[in-house]
Structure 1
Amino acid sequence: MSPDVSTTGLPRRAALSDPGYQAFLLLRTVFTVAPILFGLDKFANLLVDWPSYLAPWIDTIVPGTAGQAMYVIGVVEVVAGITVALIPRFGSWLVAAWLAGIIVNLLTVPGFYDIALRDFGLLVAAVALARLASRYAPAPRTS
């Protein structure tokens, strides 16, 4: 592919002026950066005390402590963000599924319904990214 042509097949300048492509780039950037930052913060707890968000019933079925579970969750989130950056057609669905799991967790913890609603909005945005990626992300190469 010529360096003057984007992955959409349009000339690069035309692609950058396409509102759909702009939305794809914005969502791809957010769903790359946010999961990586939140995942890394699971090790530092600078933003919030993450273990307090783990539903007690989940804490009883995962091995170790809630804090240790957050380390695993942090790794998954970092991997999800990197996957969105590299393979947005797949990574966006991975993030949407992860958010669905977070929502189920939050709905079973009294007092976190507002965060579950916010995460539902993020899930919808991740699905929108998946749909945009089907048009704007490069197709997997088969050779």
Structure 2
Amino acid sequence: MPATSSASTDRRTDPAFQAFFLLRTVFTVAPIAFGLDKFTNILTEWTIYLAPWINDIVPGNADQAMKAVGVIEIAAGLLVAFAPRIGAYVVALWLAGIIVNLLTLQDFHDVALRDFGLLVGALALGRLAAVYADRSPVSTS
């Protein structure tokens, strides 16, 4: 049964709000976690995912480039946390760039496909944020 738009409706029980909350949480935590890992390489050696042509056009070496990527990812996660209407689309664009990078490498088409799914999720977050991104946990419509 769809949630009503009365002021007494608690959005926490609204399935669409729950989807917004889940996506906002994931697209906040994941970019921050992966961004921080660019400095430690605990999860993986991130430089293997950097296409040589990109490494050739960015200043410094691959490790420095991935640290810059980490800073951008942390900022994108924070943007989703504090301004999801904007942050969701920034993350979607960032994922599009990652996909282009991965498609130019030989061995990471599966990761590119996964990132395409994440891109679609970020776009869904952006659409849901248009409705649910205000600060009130209770509907005021």
Superposed CA offset, 1:54-112 (max 9, x none): 00111111111000000100000000000000000000000000000000000000010
The equivalent of 1:98 in structure 2 is 94
- Which amino acid is the alignment partner of residue 91 of structure 1? G
The offset of 1:138, in angstroms, is 1.5
The equivalent of 1:84 in structure 2 is 80
Whole-angstrom CA distance in 2 between matches of 1:40 and 1:22: 27
Whole-angstrom CA distance in 1 between matches of 2:30 and 2:16: 21
The offset of 1:14, in angstroms, is 2.1
Superposition RMSD in Å: 1.4
Gaps of 5+ in 2: 136-141
User: Do the aligned partners of residues 137 and 10 (structure 1) sit closer, same or farther apart at CA in structure 2, a change above 3 Å counting?
Assistant: farther
The equivalent of 2:34 in structure 1 is 38
Whole-angstrom CA distance in 2 between matches of 1:9 and 1:25: 20
User: Do the aligned partners of residues 30 and 56 (structure 1) sit closer, same or farther apart at CA in structure 2, a change above 3 Å counting?
Assistant: same
User: Do the aligned partners of residues 10 and 130 (structure 1) sit closer, same or farther apart at CA in structure 2, a change above 3 Å counting?
Assistant: farther
TM-score w.r.t. the length of structure 2 is: 0.90
Whole-angstrom CA distance in 1 between matches of 2:90 and 2:23: 14
Whole-angstrom CA distance in 2 between matches of 1:10 and 1:39: 39
TM-score w.r.t. the length of structure 1 is: 0.88
User: Do the aligned partners of residues 99 and 138 (structure 1) sit closer, same or farther apart at CA in structure 2, a change above 3 Å counting?
Assistant: same
Superposed CA offset, 1:28-48 (max 9, x none): 000000000000000000000
The equivalent of 1:135 in structure 2 is 131
Whole-angstrom CA distance in 2 between matches of 1:114 and 1:89: 29
Whole-angstrom CA distance in 1 between matches of 2:105 and 2:7: 48
Runs of 4+ that moved beyond 6 A: none
Q: Secondary structure at the match of 1:76?
A: helix
The equivalent of 2:18 in structure 1 is 22
Count residues in correspondence: 131
The offset of 1:9, in angstroms, is 7.5
- Which amino acid is the alignment partner of residue 32 of structure 1? T
Whole-angstrom CA distance in 1 between matches of 2:6 and 2:134: 10
Greater RCO (CA < 8 Å, at least 6 residues apart): 2
